[in-house]
Amino acid sequence: MPTKTPTCPSQVALLTEKGICPVQPEVSTPLPRTGRRDVAMSIRKMCKAVVGNGAVILFVFTFSSLLFAQGGTWETKANMPTVRWASAAGVINDTFYVAGGYFSWHLKNVEAYDRTTDTWTIKSQRPTIQTTATAGVVNGILYTAGGTDCCVHINSTWAYDPIMDSWTQKASMSAPRSYLAAGVINGILYVAGGLNFSGPLATLEKYNPIANSWTILAPMPTARHGVAAGVVNDIRNRSRPRVANSLQ
């Protein structure tokens, strides 16, 4: 039986073997049984990326599936070249970019998916490891923030230019954290929550790509990590379905 779609259209459901990724409130289609519980973090990140015509791309290990809002049906698409989870991703000009991740070891691989041809292209690797990071796209640039470098939480920010196929390091966040969430509002990257050695965080910061600077904002009422985020009408919502049913 299909899982009931959350009543709030901005809420992204945690995906498991029998989970769903709601694009619209009325869509309630089970995920094909290619999912794994141990890739839930990557799946939550993939759920945030919308690729034209209301389509959402999700990746489960080397599997990628395309969920169309119209009718809510699933199609199996070309596999990613690299097996991974805990990666960061974003959509630039209708192309889906996946960076980093983990499988047996921390990865620097970057790959791009063209849904019109159903093909993947291998891009230049990341300069550094940045696993369990978050990401957002501003003016055609993919920004990744936070994560781990294999051993410790980091506060690094990197920018990927798909035209130049190159990475540039940017100003760092105020504090290291991983398993954080992000959303872009009016050209500004907002990053919330996360985890470091002090525990779950309620921290909220915003990054201005033009000024290359971070600004600390009012913290969330509740500290959270391993979360999903979405922007609706320029208002950012986030939740952690595994431990809470609230939105902030």
Collapsing DSSP to helix, strand or coil, 140 comes out as: coil
Task: Tell me the whole-structure pTM to 2 decimals.
Answer: 0.73
CA angle 70, 75, 79 (to 5 degrees): 140
- Kindly list the distances between the CA atom of residue 108 and the CA atoms of 56, 172, 194, in Å, as whole numbers in the listed order: 24, 19, 21
pLDDT-derived band at 68, boundaries 50, 70, 90: low
Nearest CA among 122, 47, 59, 136 for reference residue 91? 136
pLDDT tops 60 at residue 18? no
Q: Which residue has the higher pLDDT, 72 or 107?
A: 107
Do 88 and 134 contact (CB within 8 A), yes or no?
A: yes
pLDDT tops 60 at residue 210? yes
| Residue-level pLDDT at 19 | 36
Q: Which residue has the higher pLDDT, 218 or 242?
A: 218
Q: What is the mean pLDDT of residues 88-94?
A: 94
**d(C-alpha 183, C-alpha 30), whole Å:** 26
Do 30 and 23 contact (CB within 8 A), yes or no?
A: no
Q: What is the mean pLDDT of residues 36-61?
A: 41
pLDDT-derived band at 173, boundaries 50, 70, 90: very high
Q: Which residue has the higher pLDDT, 214 or 48?
A: 214
pLDDT-derived band at 23, boundaries 50, 70, 90: very low
Q: How many CB atoms lie within 10 A of CB 62?
A: 14
| Residue-level pLDDT at 66 | 52
Report residue 218 CA to chain centroid gap: 23
pLDDT tops 60 at residue 6? no
Domain 127-233 in CATH 2.120.10.80: yes
pLDDT tops 70 at residue 98? yes
> Which of 15-19, 89-93, 230-234, 237-241 shows the lowest per-residue confidence on average (mean pLDDT)?
15-19
Residue 101: strand pairing partners: 107
Q: How many residues does the chain have?
A: 248
**Residues 13-19: contacts with CB under 8 Å, at least 24 apart:** 13/47, 13/241, 14/40, 14/44, 14/228, 14/241, 14/242, 15/40, 15/43, 15/44, 15/47, 15/58, 16/40, 19/43
Average pLDDT over the chain, rounded to an integer: 76
pLDDT-derived band at 41, boundaries 50, 70, 90: very low
pLDDT tops 70 at residue 7? no
> Which of 3-7, 33-37, 59-63, 68-72 shows the lowest per-residue confidence on average (mean pLDDT)?
3-7
Helices and strands in the chain: count of H runs, count of E runs = 1, 19
Do 41 and 226 contact (CB within 8 A), yes or no?
A: yes
pLDDT tops 60 at residue 247? no
Q: What is the mean pLDDT of residues 21-41?
A: 40
Q: Write phi, then psi, for 40 (nearest 5 degrees).
A: -60, -35
**d(C-alpha 185, C-alpha 173), whole Å:** 18
**d(C-alpha 39, C-alpha 57), whole Å:** 15
Q: Count Cα atoms within 13 angstroms, Cβ side, for 229.
A: 25
> Could you tell me the two tokens for 87?
């990666």
pLDDT digits (tens, 9 = 90+) for 108-167: 999 999 989 999 999 999 999 999 999 999 999 999 999 999 889 999 999 999 999 999
Domain ranges for the chain, please list them.
127-233
**d(C-alpha 14, C-alpha 241), whole Å:** 6
